[in-house]
Structure 1
């Protein structure tokens, strides 16, 4: 993007750059402050910093409530990633490769949860389970996380599947390969970058979910985000900053890792000899 050469245009360009910079500062300054304050040696969770220390991370690792919340979030996120990936691959394959009555409606329903605010989904499901006298359970919490993550998995797999030419599958089928073997030996390896990336995306969505988990978690059960909210009700201590920093590392690092691995897998596929070479 090139800045305009006239005087009025230059001032407009500078104003745009300044406003953009202020927006980024507004967005990322709290995150930076949380990370910095997590290493503050002081027992007060604020400035000025009295020294550099890992003490609050050590205290965090000895907090049984935090460890329990971490284990809960971890296994729910892992199950969510595994189940949504399997269902998402099957759904995307059906929506892209096959024609059937009501296909457009199914496609809309598959991505609809991504278009509805989480608060609306959370309250709606909570009202439903109250109406049918269904207690809040781990299974309900897991189902809710799958509902939230599935649209994103379907969209990622669909985008990759559309880019895969059907000629590879048709060639295998014409040579007598069963559809199951064709999918396993041809389609799935080409889909692996998107499968891996969507699994990590589903893991991040589940692990970092706050709004819906507040409505769906069983009584007395905390996930990592809800544990942070519970700790904030007492005080903003360096221990909370340390926990927030760990959440930032996980929720930012996992998608970055997924993007790097997906790009590497895509590069390997591109370097493979193509049909007809």
Structure 2
């Protein structure tokens, strides 16, 4: 009886959390301009309106470019940092690890304000570079944690065997270590892209004037009115932010199974 009550309570909690998301997705296909039930019909007109909205498409291009740059930089730095922290004895390694993952422990709004005040103190204004820098700081810990967890499981003697057979450290990395790390690298890159694409708190503090990402564009649209286009845009965001991590997990599992086989 006790477990049944706990199961019922869990179902109610999850229903309370995800029912509004389901309503947004459902209303994005509503033919009526007013988001209300019962629905007047099924239509894709609001997704077509998104495609023809220059402001939204410009925000999509900005978010995709920002997410890709963040993923590339965070993944590169995360792999290098993980190799240094796991494979080599560095003085103050525990302190360095704590500092690298500290952005996860600090509330994002505090991190956003702190970085903005620090750069203003240095006389550096808001720019796309600042926005990219902030996203890299926020996503780098996730990449490091994922890559480190995979790197610890890779046997060192495999790399030592390649070195003993005459391979250089660079050849060993690209021929042995990186292929074994690839599932974690791909997962970390997708995590970085998804987090960057979905971020709004830090972006509101760091973005320059005239630059909008998809989350900030939704926030700006909500200030004026609740348009059916917002429901369609929310559906696209849900598909991207949920589908990409699931796709990344599936690819990482498949790649790991191939390596194991």
Q: Which TM-score tier does this pair reach, normalised by the shorter chain?
A: over 0.9
Residue of structure 1 in register with 2:170 after alignment: 180
Residue of structure 1 in register with 2:19 after alignment: 29
User: Counterparts of 1:46 and 1:116 in 2: how far apart (Å)?
Assistant: 39
User: Counterparts of 1:14 and 1:89 in 2: how far apart (Å)?
Assistant: 45
Number of residue pairs the alignment of both structures matches: 261
Residue of structure 2 in register with 1:107 after alignment: 97
User: Counterparts of 2:159 and 2:122 in 1: how far apart (Å)?
Assistant: 46
Secondary structure of 1:50's aligned partner = coil
Residue of structure 1 in register with 2:137 after alignment: 147
Deviation at 1:46, TM superposition (A): 2.8
User: Counterparts of 1:129 and 1:90 in 2: how far apart (Å)?
Assistant: 26
Residue of structure 2 in register with 1:79 after alignment: 69
User: Counterparts of 2:11 and 2:185 in 1: how far apart (Å)?
Assistant: 35
1:98 paired to 2:88: yes
Secondary structure of 1:169's aligned partner = helix
Structure 2: gaps of 5 or more residues: none
User: Counterparts of 1:123 and 1:236 in 2: how far apart (Å)?
Assistant: 29
1:198-254 Cα deviation digits (max 9, x unpaired): 111110010000110000000121100000111111111211000000000000011
1:116 paired to 2:106: yes
Secondary structure of 2:30's aligned partner = coil
User: Counterparts of 2:161 and 2:61 in 1: how far apart (Å)?
Assistant: 46
Residue of structure 1 in register with 2:198 after alignment: 208
Q: Which moved more, 1:127-136 or 1:16-25?
A: 127-136
Residue of structure 2 in register with 1:262 after alignment: 252
User: Counterparts of 1:148 and 1:43 in 2: how far apart (Å)?
Assistant: 38
Structure 1: gaps of 5 or more residues: 1-9, 272-277
Deviation at 1:45, TM superposition (A): 2.3
Secondary structure of 1:125's aligned partner = helix
User: Counterparts of 1:123 and 1:26 in 2: how far apart (Å)?
Assistant: 32
Normalization by structure 2: what TM-score? 0.98
User: Counterparts of 2:140 and 2:190 in 1: how far apart (Å)?
Assistant: 12
1:137 paired to 2:127: yes
1:217 paired to 2:217: no
Q: 1:169 aligns with which of 131, 135, 159?
A: 159
User: Counterparts of 1:189 and 1:169 in 2: how far apart (Å)?
Assistant: 12
Deviation at 1:182, TM superposition (A): 0.7
1:50 paired to 2:40: yes
Cα RMSD (Å) = 0.9
Normalization by structure 1: what TM-score? 0.92
User: Counterparts of 2:24 and 2:218 in 1: how far apart (Å)?
Assistant: 13
User: Counterparts of 2:203 and 2:225 in 1: how far apart (Å)?
Assistant: 22
1:159-209 Cα deviation digits (max 9, x unpaired): 000000001001111122111111111111100111111111110010000
Residue of structure 1 in register with 2:181 after alignment: 191
User: Counterparts of 1:248 and 1:35 in 2: how far apart (Å)?
Assistant: 9
Deviation at 1:142, TM superposition (A): 0.3
User: Counterparts of 2:192 and 2:108 in 1: how far apart (Å)?
Assistant: 15
